[in-house]
Amino acid sequence: MELPRVSIIIPAYNEEKTISKCLSSIKKLCYPKSKLETIVIDDGSIDNTAKVVSKFDVNLIKGGHKGVGIARNLGIKKSKGEIIVFVDADEVMNKVFLREIVDPYKDKSVVGVDCSYKLFNTESKIARLHFLRIFLGMKEPGSPYPRSCRKKTIKEIGEIRPRFGYYDDWDFKVRISEKGEILRVEDAVLKRIEPKNMKETWRQNKWAGKSILKLFKEYKLETLRRLLFPLLCAPVPIHFLFLFGPLFFKIIGILGLSFFFIIETKRSIGMYKMTKWKEAFLTPLFDIITMEMYCIGILLGILDWSSTPKA
């Protein structure tokens, strides 16, 4: 089978510190350059993202700060590839990434292909905690996310719907999975450059929190499912304070804390077995902090309901 033409689409907002690593990994891909185009959409960055990108042989598109979904849609419209691959500016591909992720499309029933994930900046404790929670501790049930898909399938289902903010990729997964099978290829690896400070941690969790209620109109059960974890973690400080109150409050506090620690202990042990990272045992505290941020994001989203959530 002749290799298909591939378009790699990378949205970027203030990614001057990471995007060079991403683009450098594309240069090393084992894939014919004549069959590959890279499109970077600068989503209104106020740092040197565009300057860094201009040093690489890629198609740079500049736009206003309208969010990841709109940036990806712009990239899709400008793309010429048969296969669309979505990569973030803080992700690094292994050399065989494209060949492995394209191969399953020999089967016409396959509409999307996902990859496996590893952590790039393993030296950072906060980055390890992010990776543990997102990719190991809170794995999505059901089909993988389509990191790639056929362009003709996008034309059939419609573009990414940016009104869902942080969760627009989940909505995209649901709609594309109705057209066929989504596979995960383990040998196609994306190494994630996770946040290594609390400022970036706050930005991500605030964005997710502001986005969650946007799902409710179309995905009520999914919204409620996603709210279970914040509702488990965020009230922990209140449950602790209840221990110093009247008997009724003490009982509520004990029950709440017990349930939290049972769930978190099981998760932490499971994550440690997979990685042997001692940071796994810090995830209960990290989950409390990040879910407090998430809940603040929910409140901010309610106060600013009319706008599209952006990172």
Residue 135: band (very low, low, confident or very high) from pLDDT cuts 50, 70, 90:
confident
Burial class (CB in 10 A: 0-12, 13-18, 19+), 22: buried
Q: Is the confidence at residue 270, as pLDDT, over 60?
A: yes
Average pLDDT of the residues in 137-152: 76
Provide the percentage of residues in the chain whose pLDDT is more than 70. 97
The pLDDT, as a whole number, for residue 225 is: 93
The pLDDT, as a whole number, for residue 257 is: 97
What pTM does this model have? 0.92
**Starting at the edge strand that comes first in sequence, how are the strands of the sheet with 110-119 ordered?**
59-63, 36-43, 6-12, 83-86, 148-150, 110-119, 181-192, 91-93
Per residue in 18-43, pLDDT (tens digit) is 999 999 999 999 999 999 999 999 99
**Mean pLDDT of all residues in the chain?**
94
The pLDDT, as a whole number, for residue 59 is: 97
Burial class (CB in 10 A: 0-12, 13-18, 19+), 15: buried
Strand 181-192 and strand 91-93: the pairing is antiparallel
Determine the number of helices (DSSP H) and then strands (DSSP E) in the chain. Answer: 12, 8
Residue 143: band (very low, low, confident or very high) from pLDDT cuts 50, 70, 90:
low
The pLDDT, as a whole number, for residue 1 is: 64
Per residue in 40-62, pLDDT (tens digit) is 999 999 999 999 999 999 999 99
Rounded to the nearest 10 degrees, what angle do helices 220-233 and 198-212 cross at? Answer: 140
Computed on alpha carbons and rounded to an integer, the radius of gyration of the chain in Å comes to 20
In angstroms, the CA 87 to CA 65 distance is 18
The pLDDT, as a whole number, for residue 139 is: 56
Is residue 242 within 8 A of residue 253, CB to CB? The reply is: yes
The pLDDT, as a whole number, for residue 307 is: 87
Q: Is the confidence at residue 134, as pLDDT, over 90?
A: no
Residue 205: band (very low, low, confident or very high) from pLDDT cuts 50, 70, 90:
very high
Q: Is the confidence at residue 71, as pLDDT, over 80?
A: yes
Q: Is the confidence at residue 260, as pLDDT, over 70?
A: yes
The pLDDT, as a whole number, for residue 138 is: 54
Per residue in 164-196, pLDDT (tens digit) is 999 999 999 999 999 999 999 999 999 999 999
Domain spanning 6-193: which CATH class is it, in words? alpha beta
Q: Is the confidence at residue 80, as pLDDT, over 70?
A: yes
Average pLDDT of the residues in 280-299: 97
Indicate the domain borders of the chain: 6-193, 199-303
Phi-psi region of 72 (alpha: psi -120 to 50; beta: other; left: phi over 0): alpha
Strand 6-12 and strand 110-119: the pairing is unpaired
